[in-house]
Amino acid sequence: MFEPARNAPLTAIHRGRILRGEAWDDASLYLADGELVNAPEWGRWLDARGCVVLPGIVDFHGDAFERQIMPRPQVSFPLPVALLDTDRQLAANGITTALHGVTHSWEGGLRGPQTLRDLIPAFDGLRRRSLVDHKIHLRFECHHLDGEAETVEWLQASHVTLLAFNDHLPGMKRKPHKWKEWADRALTDIAGFEARLEAAHARTGEVSALIGRLAGAARQLGIPMASHDDPAIEIRDFYRSHDCHISEFPLNREVAEHAARHGSPIVCGAPNVLRGGSHVGAPRAADLAADGLCSILASDYYYPAPLHAACRLAADGRLPLERAWALVSRNPAAALGLTDRGSIETGRRADLVVVDVSDLTAPHLVATISNGRIVHLADASRLHAG
């Protein structure tokens, strides 16, 4: 019997039902040097009998890693420990490419500038030991005027795969009952948090021009952009005028419909599908997906969600599995410009998941293959010598 090992690649997957685009076939898959190839080689192979073989999940937006860094308010753990644990969680949930939603904000603390300064080298260090591919989704808080220069440096240094514009400040001002929670996250007290909030708010008149400058820098570098929590059509149009085409978590159906009319990728939360609705009053993601108004599902704050949400959409008859799975693989890869993954094709990265979907309401992840290597295996008896 062979145990899964990151330094021992697969050469084939046999007997599974393989998703290619929106069609299924029963042919074997062959892998070499981290890619999908045509010619079989002698080596270890995985028996996928009774399972489907799907492209690995490309998680467009996830910030659950913050719980590994700060599992309790004002209680932090070393980044190498937290990120390694995050890496293992991702592999165990079929996520082979993770875009970590790292917030660059005026708040300070967990979402302040120093955390991001520390995270960038920490992710670089993690890649030498990681099971899956880690990328940075920089969530820029629009009132963080003092963060412009560093953000441009990070964009130019190729640290950032996606730039998203967040504007949480107006909502924060309306919710003083949550200031204690946010102050703890920001490593300050309520008075300190309120002072930071008011200082940022005082510069509101400068925000529009700042967004234009950052969007111009990202556009010049070919970095895709998203606007987060679009509340109104005019806000979506403002960002679209800056070539920020992705609408991430639109707050109402009208915005989603408007974005769809302009061909914009629309991101919703996979937890929304699993829970049957949004915890912040946004539209039901399952309804949007069924109506063609959601093209991407992201883990958001819960790494198991993408796999289970895609299967739930199929189980509930909202979308066939092949179309539902595109929401967590092909579509996010395309929106991010990651042309080497997201679908099962010769020459693409061998990022795959093997899933038992005999019960779509309770899918069982049998194996995760990242860059041609098994990084999670629930049943070692399925692994054979060549």
Q: Write down all domains in the chain, each with its CATH number in brackets.
A: 12-53+346-384 (2.30.40.10), 57-335 (3.20.20.140)
The DSSP bridge partners found for residue 164 are: 139, 226
Q: Is 19 exposed, middle or buried (0-12, 13-18, 19+ CB in 10 A)?
A: buried
What DSSP assignment string belongs to 120-183? HHHHHHHTTT-SSEEEEEEEEETT-GGGHHHHHHHHHTT--SEEEEE--HHHHHT-GGGHHHHH
What DSSP assignment string belongs to 348-375? SB--EEEEE-SSTTS-EEEEEEETTEEE
Instruction: Judge whether 303 and 361 are in contact, CB under 8 Å.
Output: no
The amino acid at residue 248 is E
pTM value > 0.85? yes
Task: Please list, in sequence order, all residues whose beta carbon lies within 8 angstroms of the beta carbon of residue 79, skipping any fewer than 6 positions away.
Answer: 69, 118, 119, 122
User: Helix or strand or coil: residue 102?
Assistant: strand
- Tokens encoding 278: 């949004």
Query: What is the rounded CA–CA span in Å between residue 314 and residue 296?
Result: 15
Query: What is the rounded CA–CA span in Å between residue 80 and residue 279?
Result: 31
- Tokens encoding 306: 């993408």
DSSP 8-class letter at 52: E
Query: What is the rounded CA–CA span in Å between residue 278 and residue 259?
Result: 19
DSSP 8-class letter at 103: E
The DSSP bridge partners found for residue 12 are: 30, 45
Residue 136, φ and ψ in degrees, nearest 5:
-105, 125
**pLDDT tens digits for the chain (386 residues)?**
334 444 568 899 999 999 999 999 999 999 999 999 998 878 899 999 999 999 999 999 999 999 999 999 889 999 999 999 999 999 999 999 999 999 999 999 999 999 999 999 999 999 889 999 999 999 999 999 999 999 999 999 999 999 999 999 999 999 999 999 999 999 999 999 999 999 999 999 999 999 999 999 999 999 999 999 999 999 999 999 999 999 999 999 999 999 999 999 999 999 999 999 887 778 899 999 999 999 999 999 999 999 999 999 999 999 999 999 999 999 999 999 999 999 999 999 999 999 999 999 999 999 999 999 999 999 999 999 87
